[in-house]
Amino acid sequence: MKSLMDCYKLNNGVQIPCIGFGTWQTPNGDVAVKAIKEALALGYRHIDTAAGYGNEESVGIAVRESRIPREELFITSKLNNPDHGYDNTMRAFEETMKNLDMDYLDLYLIHWPNPLKFRDCWQEANAGSWKAFEELYSAGRIRSIGISNFHPRHIEELLKTATITPMVNQIRLCPGDTQDEVAAYCKAHNILLEAYSPLGTGLVFSSSEMQALADKYEKTIAQLCIRWSLQMGFLPLPKSVTTSRIKENAEVFDFELSKEDVKLIADLKGICGLSKDPDKISF
């Protein structure tokens, strides 16, 4: 990967830009619109949102105001936890498209495999949602479909009724939190791993080990994290609303971490905390 325009190829042949601009915890409104427009102006072409983030409208506004042709962008959204099941998913998808004011999505994900509302029937609920995903995909409404926060046991259940294998699994991946079992499973099944919270929601900046590496490479800790994610074969989704940091997070193509330092970063267990158990979330 040599620039923001470089892409991974999904298992259905669709090209996905190698770094996405994350919008989790960015409030809907002027702040989100401004940040997304600045990211697009700086060369980002991949925007990640979700119904649960509450900012799909801002993504749509920013895309329209950028005047960048829609076909040059890659837009992801996610199914909200209360909306699992076939009928709910169909309704939720239409609401997402209304919020975005777009004709199609490039990627649609089931956000969590086992939300509280469906704790006693999550397998059936996911199967219904995936059936809707497959129909929307076949109809050309979505260019690629995937999952988020799924562990192998959840994927195996999904594949019992699925006719299309997920193209993406978006999970928390950051220094010291590499979810090795999930990552190995996805790589074996040609499911691309997207890394949300690649900076550990800010916890990584307290690491003396990461600061030492930043000094060694003469880069920021954030740049190290994003470069590390790429070298691990992940697709990072850094988020910021600060112009200088949005720009900084894209400047990761002019250096390379040694294999030893890639491993060192991966082995810093717990410096950013650990991922939630998707079977125990309370939302």
Q: Per-residue pLDDT tens, the chain, 283 aa: give them.
A: 999 999 999 999 999 999 999 999 999 999 999 999 999 999 999 999 999 999 999 999 999 999 999 999 999 999 999 999 999 999 999 999 999 999 999 999 999 999 999 999 999 999 999 999 999 999 999 999 999 999 999 999 999 999 999 999 999 999 999 999 999 999 999 999 999 999 999 999 999 999 999 999 999 999 999 999 999 999 999 999 999 999 999 999 999 999 999 999 999 999 999 999 999 999 9
CATH number at residue 168: 3.20.20.100
Residue at 192 is within a domain: yes
What DSSP string describes the chain? Answer: --STT-EEE-TTS-EEESS-EE-TT--TTHHHHHHHHHHHHTT--EEE--GGGT-HHHHHHHHHHHT--GGG-EEEEEE-GGG-SHHHHHHHHHHHHHHHT-S-BSEEEE--SS-GGGTTSHHHHHHHHHHHHHHHHHTTSBS-EEEES--HHHHHHHHTT-SS--SEEEEE-BTTB--HHHHHHHHHTT-EEEEESTTGGGGGGG-HHHHHHHHHHTS-HHHHHHHHHHHTT-EE----S-HHHHHHTT--SS----HHHHHHHHT-TTTT--PPPTTS---
Q: Is residue 246 part of a domain?
A: no
* Residue 159 maps to a domain: yes
**Residue 79 in domain:** yes
In a domain, 262, yes or no: no
Tell me what pLDDT residue 4 has. Answer: 96
pLDDT at residue 197 in the model:
96
In a domain, 273, yes or no: no
8, 53, 108, 196: the active-site residue: 53
- Catalytic residue flag (residue 53): yes
Position 33 scores a pLDDT of 98
Whether 222 is in a domain gets the answer no
Determine the pLDDT at residue 214.
98
Strands 107-110 and 74-79: parallel
Q: Which domain holds residue 105?
A: 7-202+233-241
Please tell me the total count of domains within the chain. Answer: 1
pLDDT recorded at residue 104: 98
In a domain, 105, yes or no: yes
